[in-house]
Each structure stands twice: as structure tokens, then as C-alpha cells.
Structure 1
Amino acid sequence: MPRNPGVTDEQIIRMYKSKMPFKKMKAVTGLSDRGIRNVIHKHGVQMNREQYSGQPRKHQVNEDFFKTWTHEMAWVLGLFVTDGHVNKQTHSIVFSQKDEQILRLIAKHMEADYVLASTGPTRLTPSLIINSKKIKNDLESLGIHPNKSMTVPFPEVPAQYLPSFIEGVIEGDGWVQRKGYVMNVTTASFHFANGLLSTFQSWELRSEITSTKNQKGNSIYRVWVKGKYDLPKLAKIIYNDATMEYSSYKKKYMSQRLNEL
């Protein structure tokens, strides 16, 4: 197809960088898909597959969410490490939580459309789906891969965001005694368990790891914080300056001890 008179390479690049869909670019330039791609490749411009396909992103999300540390990002990451899943076949991640309030807050922080996976005989827990290759890649750079349960590391979280990260971890896979001074986090990853233990010990909390075997013979680790003074101290660390607006029984049980310090 011949190029429309007066249309330059520079104009085509500007159209492309402004995220004009290929369908509209074809009408303006007179070029075919291949002709437009040739111009883009000639000038070394990286192609966006969504733009090339002519299809807008179906579900919105902030694809840069995991690129910058914030308290919200650290909290969501803590939840994902414990209750999340990286899809091996597609560019998607999934958060699973019985409490939809938590899922809605995740979607709010990630500026994502609230899209739940359909439930059925094999999926009873509400699950939030996030579709993004960039987000999947960013999580992989943090050591979080498909089939992560036994291999996930304890991420290198900046110290100022550790309380928010631990808050998310406890909300994800934590258990808090209703009347007492005991809390534990369950994980199948030895590396994550040791990183969590080191964090609790750096906060001078009474903490330990125990392990059991599941039906498949794999090790399951529990990282404990116990004590009349230690559990309230943990609650003070992770909730006193918390920015996440939600209520759950775990947060309630932990927070009821704050006035005992």
C-alpha cells in the first residue's frame, strides 16, 4: 500500500508514541500493518503488543505498581507472597481471599478493575485476577515465580516498609489467637520462614520456627510470636502507623492488645 502524500516517518513515530491504535494509523498514513511496523523497527522504537493488536487493555491496572516501594505496595506484596498465585501459562496473577473487603482494597491500591475469577467446585475462595505481563515480570524480579509456595524467598524489603509488608503477610497466612498472646504465620518455604524469623528477632520479639509434614511429605513451617508483651509489641509495630483502611478479625485480635504496653 502506498503511503499517503506528506506523511513522514517522524509523524508515524509520533502517532505511535501517542498510542494511536494501528487501525487509525493505517487510515491516516495509508500504510498496511507491516508498513507501519517497518517504519517503527527502522527507527528502533520498541513495540507495544496491545497497541499493535489494535485492542485496548481489557482491564485497567497500574502496571508500575510493584516498581516503587510504598506502604501500600509492601502490604499488597505481603498478601501476594502468602495468598497469591502467578499463572504459568498466561500473563496474569491472582489474589485469593475469603474476605472480599481485602480484595477490593488490593484493587483500589493497584488501580485495577475489580475482576473476580468464576467460582465452582474447585474454586470456592473469591479470587482477584490481574492481567499484566509487566507486573508478572516485576514480581519475578522480586523472586516470586509460578509454583512459588516452596521456593519463595523473603524479599529485600526496605526497613521503613517492613511493618506494612509483615502486616500483609499476617493478613494473608497468619493465625491469631482470639484470647491470648499467640500468633503464627504458615509457609511452605524454608527461606521465607527464616527471613520472617530474622525480622521478628530484629524487632526483639520472642519468636521461633516449628515444622510439620503435610500429606505429600513436604515440610510446612510455622513462624511464631508468643508472649504477653511480645504480641502487643508486634501489633504496635505493624498497626500504629498503618495506612491501610480495613478491618479483619486478625487485625482486631492483634490490636486489642495494644493498650497493654
Structure 2
Amino acid sequence: MPRNPGITDEMIISMYKSGMPFKEMQPIIGLSDRAIRNVLYKHGVKMNREQSSGRPRIHKINENFFKVWSHEMAWVLGLFITDGHINEQTHSVSLSQKDEKILKVVANYMGADYILAPFGKTMTTPTLIINSKEIKKDLEVLGIKSRKSLNVPFPVVPEQYLPSFIRGVIDGDGWVQKSGYVMNVTTASIRFAEGLLSVFHSWALHSTITSTTTNTGNIIYRVWVKGKYVLPKLAKIIYRNAATDNFIPHKRDYMMQRINELPDK
């Protein structure tokens, strides 16, 4: 029985480590129970008796995390809407970040077991896997669905939590110039770009949208914030409710270089 097109060993290991039972893996992968075991054995993956017998492995997770707004939840939502992935075929979601420390903070906030996808040819960035039907459902309610990149909406976020949400968005898909004069967020969704622009304008920040077309014909939008004193003003807003670890340090440092030079108002 040949495996289904596009299914790699790394994907099989990732499914298994996310807690998916063999009976759910088989139709997705296209291999028999025995063939899946052989892939896992080949890579030295320890087998779980309950999981291989068809009962899913139980992972710890606070399944109410995305049901109640908080500054921590809003920041994590910003990360998921930019760097998250909703598995179309299983009840799992994942979050990728170059800085693995951020994933540990997210797992701690969500009360989740810290499970990383295995590295391989197609998986080179640290990726946190969360196996939960409820978390997946709540993210979908908030607008984060599979294949979200082209049409993800700007979610309805309570005003008091918008700064923390925007901080998560910038930590996910934001770029900040080292000199602290320019910042942009990249997205393939015009709906998200326009929502983000609206927030920046409501904060009286100089912000614009530009677009470019990729070689594959997709349009990429960049939402810009520019100005010697505009970025420190943005920093003052989005880091006001930050903890000591829920942000990308270098992005904060670049934006806050001239915060002491802001005129008192």
C-alpha cells in the first residue's frame, strides 16, 4: 500500500507525537498500521501502547484558553494569526517561531504539554504542536482556519486587549528596522491588512499599506509604521501590558530606542 502523495516521514512522526491514534493516521497517510510503525521504528521514536491501540494519548491543555480574553490570550492569538497553522485533517494546531523561548512561554500560558514537531528536511523551525479539538474550534471561531493566509480576517478584539494582540502580530510577522525608524507587518490578506491599518490610525500613528505581487501571482501586503517618534509611540502602547517574557526582545529594543525623547503629552 503506497503512502499518499506529499506525506513525509517527518509528517508521520509529527502526527504520532501530537497524540493521534493509528486508526486516524492510516487514511491520512495511506499506510497500514505496520508500515507506520516501521517508519517510527526507523527514526527511533518511542511507541505509546495506548496510542497504538487506538486510544488517543492525553495531553494537558487549558481548553478554555481562547474563551476568556486576557492580555496573555490576546498576545498568543496575535502569534497564532500570523505564525499558526490549523491542521485540516486532524484536531491539532501548531505554532512556529524561530525563537523557541517564545514557544515555551505560549505553552506555559496555555497550560499545554511542551511538544515540538521533529526537525527534518521540511521542518527546520521550532514548532509547538497542540492536540485539541476545542482549541482548534475556538481558533476557527476567531477567524483562524486552515489555509488562512489569503483570507484571514482581522478579529474582533476588545479595545483594552488590542495592544497585546498587535504585539503578538508584530512578534509573528513584523519587521523592525534596527535604527528604529520603520516597522512593517506582512500579510497575504487584504482584510487583515486593512484592519491593522485602521488600528494604527486610531492610535494616531502614521501608517500606510503597500503591495507587491509574488512570482506565483499572489499579492503580499505590508502595513507600515514610520517615523523617528512614531515607533517609540507605538512601543509605548503595545508594551504597556507586556510581562517580562511575552515579546521578541530585539523588536522591542529597536522600537524603544528614542522613547525617552517623546514629548510629554
Q: Which TM bucket (shorter chain)?
A: 0.7 to 0.9
Deviation at 1:241, TM superposition (A): 2.7
1:194 equivalent in structure 2: 194
- Partners in 2 of 1:219 and 1:107 — Cα distance? 33
Is the 1:166–1:238 Cα contact (8 Å) retained in structure 2?
yes
Distance between the aligned counterparts of 2:74 and 2:241, measured in 1? 14
> Is 1:91 the equivalent of 2:91?
yes
Is the 1:74–1:165 Cα contact (8 Å) retained in structure 2?
yes
Aligned to 1:237: 237
* Counterpart residue identity of residue 73, structure 1: M
Partner secondary structure for residue 107 of structure 1:
helix
- Deviation, 1:228, is 1.2
* Residue 68, structure 1, aligned to residue 43, structure 2: no
Identity between Structure 1 and Structure 2 (%): 67
Alpha-carbon shift at residue 245 of structure 1 (Å): 1.9
Residue of structure 2 in register with 1:248 after alignment: 249
3-state secondary structure, aligned to 1:129: strand
Give the whole-Å Cα distance in 2 for the aligned partners of 1:66 and 1:244. Answer: 22
Q: CA deviation at 1:57?
A: 5.0
Cα gap change, 1:122/1:161 in structure 2, threshold over 3 Å: closer, same or farther? Answer: same
Is the CA contact (8 Å cut-off) linking 2:180 and 2:255 kept in structure 1? no
- Tell me the alpha carbon deviations over residues 215-259 of structure 1, each in whole angstroms, 9 at most, x when there is no partner: 211000000000112111000000123235245211221222322
- Select between 233-242 and 123-132 the one with higher mean Cα deviation: 233-242
Maintained 8 Å contact 1:71/1:243: no
TM-score by length of 1: 0.77
Cα RMSD of the aligned pairs, angstroms, is 1.7
Shift of 1:90: 0.4
Structure 1: which 4+ aligned runs deviate by more than 3 Å? 53-57
Whether the aligned pair in 1 keeps the contact of 2:152 and 2:189 (CA below 8 Å) is yes
Match of 2:58 in 1: 58
The aligned length equals 210
Structure 2 SS opposite 1:179: coil
Question: Is the CA contact (8 Å cut-off) linking 2:82 and 2:169 kept in structure 1?
Answer: yes
Letter in 2 for 1:249: H
Corresponding residue for 1:117? 117
Aligned mates of 1:107, 1:257 — CA distance in 2 = 33
**Cα distance in 1 for residues equivalent to 2:202 and 2:157:** 14
Runs of 5+ consecutive residues of structure 2 not aligned to the other structure: 1-52
Whole-Å separation in 2 of the counterparts to 1:195 and 1:67: 22
Structure 1: segments with no counterpart, 5+ residues: 1-52
Asked whether 1:81 is paired with 2:81, we answer yes
Distance 2:213 2:231 in 1: 27
Distance 2:256 2:79 in 1: 19
* AA partner of residue 69 (structure 2): W
